[in-house]
């Protein structure tokens, strides 16, 4: 069984390596500058993700949202761990969290706000803010943090931003809205969506499998 598995994987790899070698040298790009400027962006990737292929991005955001729904649904029937939270009691970590978390938050918002001009965007920004939340959770314990963000408000924020994104997407796709404001707004909404989603995963994993 095992040798067969590796053999098949190797054959696939060999086939891909052989054929993809033929892709080089790569042809020149079609003119992308005008299309980027048309969507009100400087970063062509942002122009594609939030402009030309916004329709795909809506699906992607929905996939992300549905995975979070799945996390809640599958973990809800499981018993919550009542063990004492093993918070890492380290003054160093606490001070570091105090200093770093505001900076992380500001950096995340900056990345989302400037995502259409420079490298960045809503998804990396959301991941960064989620990491900041993880740091706070490590320093202060996840329960203290969970009390700051009650679940109902979080889920309203999550679905609210999703609905707003769908409306924005509808405006862009059907009514032809475009421009820098749309990209910034969409990036901000994605930031909210991804960071609340990341927090949901973090909290549920921690609540059901012991503390972080």
Partner 1 sequence: MEGQVALLLAVSLLVLGLGTLLSRRNVIWKLLGLNVASGGAALFLVAVGHRPQAVPPILGWGPGPAADPLPQALILTAIVIHFATLALSLVYVIFLTEHLHTQDVPKLERGEDE
Partner 2 sequence: MTAALAGVLGYFLAGTLELLRTKTGPCWGLVAWAGGLISLALWAPGFPESKLGGPLWGISLVGDPIALAFWCFIPLVHAAVGWHERRRPATFHGLVTLLVGTCLATVLSRDLFNLFVCLELNSLLSFLLIGFDARSRAVWASLQYLILTTVGMILYLVGLGLVYGELGTLSLAQISTLAVDFSTPSLAVGAGLLVAGAAVKAGVFLLGLWLPLAYREAPTGVSTLLAGLVGKMGIVTLARLAQALPVGPLVVSLGVVTGFGGLIYALWERDLKVFLAYQVMSQVGYMLIGFGLGGPAFFGALLYTVACCLYKGLLFQAAGQAVEAVGKRDIPSLAGRLPGPAAIGLAVGTAAIVGLPPLAGFVGKELLGVMVPPAFSWTLTILTLGTAASFSKLLPLFRMGPAAGERGAVTLLTAGVLGFSSWGLLSLPSLWAPSLWLRALAAVAVGFGLHLVIHRLDIRLPKIGLDRAALVSLVGSVGLALATVLWL
With CA atoms as reference, report the closest residue to 209 among 70, 74, 88: 74
Residue 8 lies near partner 1 (rule: CB under 8 A): yes
Q: Which part of the chain contacts partner 2 (CB under 8 A), choosing from 25-33, 96-104, 106-114, 134-142? A: 25-33
Contact present, 154 and 196 (Cβ < 8 Å)? yes
Instruction: Identify residues 117-146 at the interface with partner 1 (CB under 8 A).
Output: 117-119, 121, 123
And the tokens for 153? 């408000």
For 60, half-sphere exposure in the C-beta direction (CA atoms, 13 angstrom radius) is 12
The least CB distance from residue 158 to partner 2, in Å, is: 9
d(CA 190, CA 124): 10
Residue 57 lies near partner 1 (rule: CB under 8 A): yes
In the shown chain, the binding pattern of residues 36 to 75 toward partner 2, with x for contact by CB under 8 A and - for none, equals: --x--------xx--xxxxxx-xxx-xx-xxx-xx--xx-
Residue 103 lies near partner 2 (rule: CB under 8 A): no
Residue 19 lies near partner 2 (rule: CB under 8 A): yes
Residue whose tokens read 């761990």:
81
| Site size for partner 1 (CB under 8 A) | 55
Q: Rg for the chain (alpha carbons), in Å?
A: 21
């Amino acid at each position: 069984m095992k040798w067969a598995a590796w053999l098949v994987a190797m054959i696939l790899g060999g086939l891909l390596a052989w054929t993809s070698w033929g892709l080089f040298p790569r042809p020149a790009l079609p003119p992308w500058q005008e299309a980027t400027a048309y969507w009100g962006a400087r970063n062509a990737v942002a122009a594609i993700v939030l402009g030309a292929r916004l329709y795909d991005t809506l699906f992607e955001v929905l996939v992300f949202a549905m995975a979070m729904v799945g996390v809640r649904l599958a973990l809800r029937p499981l018993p919550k761990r009542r063990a004492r939270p093993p918070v890492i009691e380290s003054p160093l970590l606490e001070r570091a969290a105090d200093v770093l978390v505001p900076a992380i938050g500001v950096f995340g918002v900056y990345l989302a706000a400037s995502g259409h001009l420079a490298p960045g965007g809503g998804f990396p920004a959301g991941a960064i803010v989620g990491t900041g939340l993880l740091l706070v959770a490590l320093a202060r314990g996840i329960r203290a943090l969970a009390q700051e963000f009650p679940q109902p408000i979080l889920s309203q924020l999550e679905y609210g931003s999703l609905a707003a994104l769908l409306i924005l997407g509808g405006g862009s796709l059907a009514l032809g809205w475009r421009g820098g404001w749309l990209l910034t707004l969409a990036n901000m909404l994605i930031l909210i969506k991804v960071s609340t989603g990341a927090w949901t995963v973090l909290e549920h994993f921690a609540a059901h499998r012991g503390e972080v």
